[in-house]
Structure 1
Amino acid sequence: METLLFGVWALLALIPCPGATDELFEVSVWPDQALVKFGDSLMVNCSTTCPDPGPSGIETFLKKTQVGKGPQWKEFLLEDVTENSVLQCFFSCAGIQKDTSLDITMYQPPEQVILELQPAWVAVDEVFTVKCHVPSVAPLENLALTLLQGNQELHKKNFTSLAVASQRAEVTISVKAQRENDRCNFSCHAELDLSSHGGELFHSSSAIRVLRSFEFSQHPQVWVSPLLEVGIAETVSCEVARVFPAKEVAFRLFLGDQELSPFLSWEEDTAWANATVRAMETGDQELSCLISLGPMEQKTREPVHVYSFPPPILEIEELYPLAGTDVNVTCTGHVLTSPSPTLWLQGAPDLPAPGEPAWLLLTTREEDDGRNFSCEASLEVQGQRLIKTTTIQLHVLCEYKPDPSGQKSEC
């Protein structure tokens, strides 16, 4: 009986207790922390302490290739890592399976940082936006974006929460423009800190964007005579006040289709342009002034009337007649004057009919030598009476007659 009991106890000693094998082997994976750059590969080694392992391997949705193995280990190449994942490494030993996991973190440095200013030109006291975004970066929770004006920090955003799966790597702020913002440099700095994953610190900056602020609320004013004479040079000007920056205002002046060449000036918040105009065609025309500053343009028009009114033509039949000679003095309107002017000839007995010349028949005398004759033409243009005058001098010659006394001569 004792012999039988001893045999039963011996058999029970050969049967492992439940859980004993489970405690006898371990499963491990190398590396124990995986940080992989977007698109790169990762080598993973799965091993066990089981002396005679059974089925084993890894479970992952990544593309895997077994590249090596031994009695207690297997090595795999994971290719084209493009997102975070969890890999399971498993071994079985004496019918019991154990596994361990590996968290694979994919990272993508902020290689491209884009800063946008909207609008690039903004009116003073209007709002502009500063927007920064990184098209490709991971992991987002390790990213920080900082908006800078010059070297001054405007705003910093940390992406510590991924509660919204569609969260994008961007930050936007709104700022009211002031004159002091004109020509300020704006930039964005991105930092990806992977120290918590055993990695390094990556940083990158955007290109600098320059903001332009301006004031341009007043309408320009044009100064020009309402009447211009063909071929006669006149000065015209265009001015705008309460404009900033005044020295950058651009002017374009036109008379009809003829573009003028302005001379630009500015002082404090006022800018103006002067130009010389010489009209070549008669009729109603328009002087226009186009002012631009950045994206803004304003145009002012002023009507003008161009007329032709050359001086009248004054003719003396003979400029150097002998005393006692009859000469005709005639005054006519110029052929280019339209309509015909009203003429008045000094010394003429009557005013001529409209369109007719004025004339005077004169018997010259010695005292007429050096006498000035004038002809006046008047023309009404757009309700204004214009006057042009032409003068001419008569020279009377004397016929030499010796004095009987021999002392002097007379005409």
Structure 2
Amino acid sequence: MASTRAKPTLPLLLVLVAVVIPGPGDAQVSIYPREAFLPRGGSVQVNCSSSCNERLYLGLETQWLKDELESGPNWKLFKLSDIGEDSSPLCFENCGTMQSSASATITVYSIPERVEMDPLPTWQQVGKNLTLRCRVYGGAPRTQLSTVLLRGEETLSRQPVDEDPKDPKDPKNITFTVLASRDDDRANFSCLIELDLRPQGLGLFSNVSEVWQLRTFDLPGTIPKLDTPDLLEVGTQQKLFCSLEDLFPASEARIYLELGGRMLTQESTNSRDSVSTTALVEVTEEFDRTLPLRCVLELADQILETQRILTIYNFSAPVLTLSQLEVSEGNQVTVKCEAHGGAQVVLLSGAPPGPPTPQVQFTLNASSEDHKRLFFCSASLEVAGKFLSKNQTLELYVLYGPRLDEKDCLGNWTWHEGSQQNLKCQAWGNPSPKLTCRRKTDGALLPVGMVKSVKREMNGTYECHAFSSHGNVTRDVYLTVLYHPQNKLAIIIVVAVLFTLSLVFVAIYVYNQQRKIRIYKLQKAQEEAMRLKVQAPPP
């Protein structure tokens, strides 16, 4: 029998009436199979039968290509081919003047053609939601189709691919939302589509999309920290430092410094979760008075920066001068301090107090107390609302004759014969004077500053003389040595007494030793007698 395409022109009202109104004599029409599960484009045989006993017309209403294979008085066997989608073929009968029908359910399945994932953003910030989109092409029935979001081989989420009556066409868009973390950096994401036909005994079919790698980054809530003074002095070398902590991945970050719009030569360091950069700047007079300093950090598609205005200044130390650095006692010396470049002298030691001026000076008569006197000069300069200061010092040398005072060289000394003594006699002066002490009677020298055993012959009056190229001075020193006459008889008596006492001590010691020996021998004899008495036989 030739294949025919069924005419879908049977009135819907007639079909509904046939379903609810039985034929004559309760005639019924049936269809087999009632349910069929087919691959897209497949075929199925459908049997229509009736219990009608009158004039019967039996047919099959379907939208697919059908062939009538066999027939009998109350039945017909049809083959439906090239079935493209889910449908419900309808067996109907005309039994006499009455009509009835029965329908079957055909479910069509197809393996998913492919699944695609949209490319991931170049960078994703940690703590922000990331939306991943997958597009599913093909696959039926949709009720048994699901999409899985994979991170590597780990399943993050699963969603069914439900049929949308408003949008039944392919592709089907599936959306996943993931909260990005540091652990997601360099992770591979993909979409897996699964058609589960195991309940129908057919197995699990799947397809996977292209794999995309995700890069994540994290930035702190702070900006880079600049560690540098606001003021830079001409002629100095200044270290500029900038850093930022608690960022990820620190190895991918770039940090640099710009001064006056010019990038500096610098050395950057990337550690586990921080970055820093250091630059050395030679501050010259070519710099403008003010320059912007920028620290810029670049990570992912983010830029963080810090800016500070630096002030360049030139401040020379004040010039401190003495009319003479070395002067003889009694001469005048002029002390002068000068400041330059807008600075003011605020202090000059020795000068009378007064308001700050560019120059301060005064004159003094040099004395021995001024020898090695330090003169201090301080100048101040206001820069960007801050007062800076610089100092200068000079030392004055005063030449003066020897000094031999009571406190440095005592006039009276009393020593005991045989004692060890040190004659402390110090002469002062510039240049340092030489000092000698001689006895007035015979010119004998008295060692100064040396430990010496005192003898009675050292007794006498000495003249100490200090001299230098700037004069000399003398001072008398009186040395008295105390001693006692020797008594030989007393010494002999003491020695004799000591000798006698020694003999007595030796005699007593020997006597005690002899007594202990006798006592010991007596004890031993008694012990022996007792032993013999015990061993003797009884009478």
Match of 1:148 in 2: 150
RMSD: 5.3
CA-CA distance at 1:309 after TM superposition: 1.9
Residue 175 of structure 1 pairs with residue 178 of structure 2: yes
Residue type at the aligned position of 1:257: G
Question: 305, 330, 338: which is aligned to 1:332?
Answer: 338
Question: 376, 379, 392: which is aligned to 2:378?
Answer: 376
Distance in 2, matches of 1:167 and 1:206, equals 19
Q: Percent identity?
A: 24
Superposition map of 1:132-147 within 5 A = 132-133=134-135, 145-147=147-149
Contact 2:134 2:191 in 1 (8 A): yes
Compared CA separation, residues 87 and 365, structure 1 to 2 (3 A)? farther
Match of 1:410 in 2: 469
Contact 1:332 1:358 in 2 (8 A): yes
Residue 297 of structure 1 pairs with residue 356 of structure 2: no
Based on CA coordinates, which of the two structures has the bigger radius of gyration? 2
Contact 1:119 1:128 in 2 (8 A): no
- Which range is displaced more, 171-180 or 223-232? 223-232
Superposition map of 1:137-216 within 5 A = 145-156=147-158, 164=167, 166-168=169-171, 170-189=173-192, 203-216=207-220
Contact 1:107 1:138 in 2 (8 A): yes
Superposition map of 1:302-381 within 5 A = 302-320=308-326, 327-334=333-340, 337=341, 339-348=342-351, 354-355=357-358, 357-361=359-363, 364=366, 368-381=370-383
CA-CA distance at 1:225 after TM superposition: 4.0
Compared CA separation, residues 140 and 229, structure 1 to 2 (3 A)? farther
Distance in 1, matches of 2:260 and 2:298, equals 19
Distance in 2, matches of 1:360 and 1:284, equals 38
Compared CA separation, residues 203 and 407, structure 1 to 2 (3 A)? closer
Higher helix share: 2
Distance in 2, matches of 1:298 and 1:162, equals 46
Distance in 1, matches of 2:195 and 2:177, equals 25
Contact 1:230 1:282 in 2 (8 A): no
CA-CA distance at 1:392 after TM superposition: 1.8
CA-CA distance at 1:390 after TM superposition: 0.5
RCO (CA 8 Å, sep 6+): is it higher in 1 or 2?
Answer: 1
Query: Where in structure 2 are there 5+ consecutive unaligned residues?
Result: 5-38, 42-63, 68-78, 86-109, 402-430, 436-463, 471-539
Distance in 1, matches of 2:305 and 2:348, equals 47
Compared CA separation, residues 369 and 184, structure 1 to 2 (3 A)? same
Q: Per-residue CA shift, 1:343-387, capped at 9, x if unaligned?
A: 5333345758733x3334455556544332222112233343322
Residue type at the aligned position of 1:116: P
Compared CA separation, residues 101 and 289, structure 1 to 2 (3 A)? same
Match of 1:129 in 2: 131
Compared CA separation, residues 361 and 276, structure 1 to 2 (3 A)? farther
Count of equivalent residues:
315
TM-score when normalising by structure 1: 0.55
TM-score when normalising by structure 2: 0.44
Query: Where in structure 1 are there 5+ consecutive unaligned residues?
Result: 1-21, 28-32, 36-85, 90-98
Contact 2:123 2:301 in 1 (8 A): no
